[in-house]
Amino acid sequence: MRRPFALLAGALLVGACALPASAADSGSTGDQGFTIKDPRITESSGLAASTLHPGIYWTHNDSDDGPYIYAVDSRTGKTVATLTLRGIGSPRDVEAISIGPDHQIYVGDIGDNLGGKWPYVWIYRLPEPKVLKDQTVRATQYVVKYSNGPRNAESLLVHPRTGRVYIIDKNENGGHLYEGPATLSASGANIFRPVATVDLWATDAAISPNGRQLAVRGYFGGIYYDWNGGSIKRKGRLDVPLQGQGESVSYSPDGTKLMYGSEGAGSSVEARDAPGGASSGKAPSGGGSSASQAGGSATVGGSFKVGAVVVAVLAAAVFGLRRLRRRG
């Protein structure tokens, strides 16, 4: 009886361990998470879902890389196009990327690790190419200043319907949502003004495709808000995965998932359900289960619950087999 018992227990264990992988592979467009395989991308600091090419996510390196952005196929993790931005100066500290109306890509050269050294920062805008291939694309450069002085920021978001651009500054004690002009001007400075407080040390943020929800992430947690016309209202915590250095977040094109990215060679992008289903007209429900920025440990969402159920089922099966064995 020992060998059949061992084989059956092993089969149960293999089947149980395979359950999470099957769930992860259920997405047909790759919006279930992926690993970036391009060896050039070692400091992925921003993430934005393509509005033209299903399954494609745009990303970029943090700094010292040049005027490049990369189109990554989430089904394979491979880069399918590298865009070289023309018509701009030398990027300084690129931290964020977002896509607005009419398939326009916005790149935020808004980092300032010295906390106020730069009197101004830049935003670059370029059209998302209809054909994915290595190419040079002319971009428009905008000068950005803050009404209350220079600051460091890593979060750039563009409202998907109005096209208005927003920035969230990065402050350990919490920051502010800054609103740009209704239309950015390529001549002169664009003044961004604080319109709401954000209770997080923000490393990235994104607005849902329907324009009704704002997701803000930090290194160890996240918060989501009702957009409320820019007068944001806090709703709850996000289920942010525990990552080595959590740097980016993007909604999937249908708004049902939040995609969380991190830095490092071969970095992973992990998917979590967007709270309340941001693609629908329903109001978000309940908070997430991740830890706060102040302390505690982040959870890995539903995978922990699935694992606990799997262990319980396996234990019960093994216990039952042992009883049958004794009876035999």
**Cα–Cα distances in Å, from 56 out to 59, 76, 206?**
10, 10, 16
Task: Name the 3-class secondary structure at 279.
Answer: coil
Phi, psi of 204 (to 5 degrees): -170, 165
Q: What is the model's pTM?
A: 0.78
Phi, psi of 219 (to 5 degrees): -70, -35
266 in Cβ contact with 257 (< 8 Å): no
Pairing mode of beta strands 96-100, 175-179: unpaired
pLDDT score, position 279: 57
Query: What is the full DSSP assignment across 90-128?
Result: --S---EEEEEGGGEEEEEE---TTSS--S-EEEEEEEP
C-alpha 177/C-alpha 82 separation (Å) is: 31
Give the number of residues written for the chain: 328
- Which helix (DSSP H) or strand (DSSP E) does residue 313 occupy? helix 302-327
pLDDT score, position 117: 86
Quickly count: other Cβ atoms within 10 Å of residue 305's Cβ.
12
Count the helix, strand and coil residues of the chain and give each as a percent rounded to the nearest 5: 15, 35, 45
pLDDT score, position 276: 78
Phi, psi of 135 (to 5 degrees): -160, 165
pLDDT in tens, the chain (328 residues): 333 333 333 333 333 333 333 333 334 467 899 999 999 999 999 999 999 999 999 999 997 789 999 999 999 999 999 999 999 999 999 999 999 999 999 999 999 988 778 999 999 999 999 999 999 999 999 999 999 999 999 999 999 999 999 999 999 999 999 999 999 999 999 999 999 999 999 999 999 999 999 999 999 899 999 999 999 999 999 999 999 899 999 999 999 999 999 999 999 999 999 997 655 443 333 333 333 333 333 333 333 333 333 333 333 333 333 333 333 4
Q: What is the dihedral of CA 141, 147, 150, 156, to 10 degrees?
A: -50
Task: Name the 3-class secondary structure at 229.
Answer: helix
C-alpha 287/C-alpha 234 separation (Å) is: 10
